[in-house]
Chains A and B, each alone.
Chain A
Amino acid sequence: MFDPNSPDLTRPTQALPRDGPDMPAFIRRHRSFFALLVVVAAQILLLSLQITRNNHVRLIRYWAVEAFDPFERSLGGLMDVASTAYRTYRNLWHAEQENQELHIQLVAAQAQIQRLSEQAGETQRLRTLLDFKNQLTFQTVAAEVIASSPAYSPGENSNAIFIDKGSDSGLTTDLAIITPEGVVGKILAIFPHSAQVLLITDPSSGVGVTLAQSRVQGILKGGSNSLCDLRYVMNEEVVSRGEAVVTSGLDQVYPKSLPVGTVANVGEGNIYKTITVRPSVDLNRLEMVLVVLKPAAAEQQALNLPLRSH
């Protein structure tokens, strides 16, 4: 018969052997639960060795693959990212290097293009000048405009320029300076290696001219605003705007029938007309000019320069 007061019942249950001093108290307190977990895990492992999935793949292998698959994918993805980043960085670095090299080459190419363009332009101008020179019946020598004399008033265009030919080239004063477009001026002062040229727009210059249509003669003097004034044309003469003005040759400086300009404006004066002439040459953009040699100067030029084969 069961006796609740039996001293055997008051005896506490036999204490389990004490665990090692290293076992945490939590595990010691729930030892039976952890034992259950171990037993259940062992049997699950046993089951995983038996059960197959997906065409006879053992469950344990299936779990192992599924468990490691995310890590493998992550690692693979990380490697891909790192590889892509490194490859991108290297490509960008190479692209930067190539960009710099190409930029340098571009700058050099642009400079060369500019230089070649300038050379082409100069070549064309020289060819034009040469063609013009060959058409002339008088001898000329080409010269380059190297400087302009400073104007007296700020902002005003200079009425005198310097060319790179002087007395050593056989030049003298009062030689006419022309271009294919027309008359430029005459040599005002001569130096050993250069010469000062007075432009036709200077008030102190004077060119004997003739109107191409009416054949009226007059004297062209420098005016204002880079224009010239045609003087000593009677009011009775008929002069129309746009009429061409050419050299008359009467001043013994400029050869005859060289273009000078066009009539810009015509007005009535007291006795003479007030005629404004616009020069045919753009005197602000002179680069290459021709110096018309007089017979004596031509002879001197021929003696100084080396003989040319014909």
Chain B
Amino acid sequence: MPATTHRPVAVFQVHPAILSIAVLGALLLQTFLPLKLPLARLMDFPLLVCIYFALMRRDKVFGITLGTGLGLLQDALSHGYIGIFGIAKAIVGYLAASASTRFELESLVARTVLTGVFVLAHNLCLAVLQHVLLEAPPPFQPAAAASSVLVNVALGLILFQILDRFRRPA
């Protein structure tokens, strides 16, 4: 179970090329995979990349920047308004970076719970933004939101293990 700790926390970093490849790969998979796999419509690769790197770097500003960048790129590649994903992922990046200084992240349980929480927070942000900003927001579907959490948590566990191979202590 995750536990708060006051001992010095580990900070990791990755090579910038790895970060760029991860960002581009997440965006490509997000745009390409739903065409082939219906289940991929519930997946959010850029979100998982944002969560991972924000947790790893433990830097709130970095988390905000990464989330904003990923979100805006995702907005640009979608047919919606530019800024909705950007806001949601900026908030998630901030929250992930904030949580990283309080929890032991090497535990699988901690990663699972935190990922689920952040995915849920991301989906709620999207729903709120659409409800507030759009004149005719789409209806909120709890089942789809729950499914999205489960799918992304499972995907995140796999993705995090892969990305762990490329990180090194800061």
Contacts and interface: CB of A to CB of B under 8 A. Distances in A.
B133 A32 contact: no
Contact of B60 (A36, A50, A54): A36
A44 B83 contact: yes
A11 B129 CA distance: 41
A3 B44 CA distance: 33
B87 A32 contact: no
A53 to B, nearest CB: 5
A51 interface: yes
Contacts of B135: 51, 53-54
A195 B94 CA distance: 124
A37 to B, nearest CB: 10
A32 B94 contact: yes
Contacts of A12: 8
Given A2-B106, A33-B94, A43 B10 contact: no
Contacts, number: 72
Counting chain B CB atoms within 10 Å of each CB, which of A44, A48, A53 scores highest? A44
A50 B61 contact: no
Interface in A1-55: 2, 4, 6, 8-13, 31-33, 35-36, 39-40, 43-44, 46-48, 50-51, 53-54
Contacts of B68: 39, 43
A46 B83 CA distance: 6
A6 to B, nearest CB: 7
B67 to A, nearest CB: 8
B46 interface: no
B134 interface: yes
A47 B80 CA distance: 10
Interface string B133-165: 111000000000000000000000000000000
Interface residues of B, number: 29
B82 interface: yes
B83 A32 contact: no
B87 A2 contact: no
Counting chain B CB atoms within 10 Å of each CB, which of A4, A51, A53 scores highest? A51
B8 A32 contact: no
A59 interface: yes
B86 interface: yes
Nearest to B95: A36
- Majority DSSP secondary structure for residues of A touching B: helix
B84 to A, nearest CB: 7
Interface residues of A, number: 26
Contacts of B170: 8, 13
B49 interface: no
Nearest to B93: A36
A35 B91 CA distance: 11
A43 B106 CA distance: 33
Contacts of A46: 82-83, 86
A33 B60 CA distance: 8
A6 B8 contact: no
Counting chain A CB atoms within 10 Å of each CB, which of B58, B65, B84 scores highest? B84
A9 to B, nearest CB: 5
Interface string B1-40: 0000000101100000000000000000000000000000
Contacts of B71: 43
Given A13-B11, A13-B58, A43-B68, A6 B169 contact: yes
A2 B86 CA distance: 34
A43 B86 contact: yes
Contacts of A53: 135
B90 interface: yes
B72 interface: yes
B64 interface: yes
Given A46-B82, A59-B133, A2 B91 contact: no
Given A12-B8, A36-B91, 10 more contacts: A4-B10, A9-B8, A35-B64, A39-B90, A43-B68, A43-B71, A43-B86, A47-B87, A51-B81, A54-B135
17 contacts: A2-B10, A2-B106, A8-B169, A8-B170, A9-B10, A10-B8, A31-B61, A32-B61, A33-B60, A33-B94, A35-B60, A35-B61, A36-B64, A43-B71, A44-B133, A50-B83, A51-B81
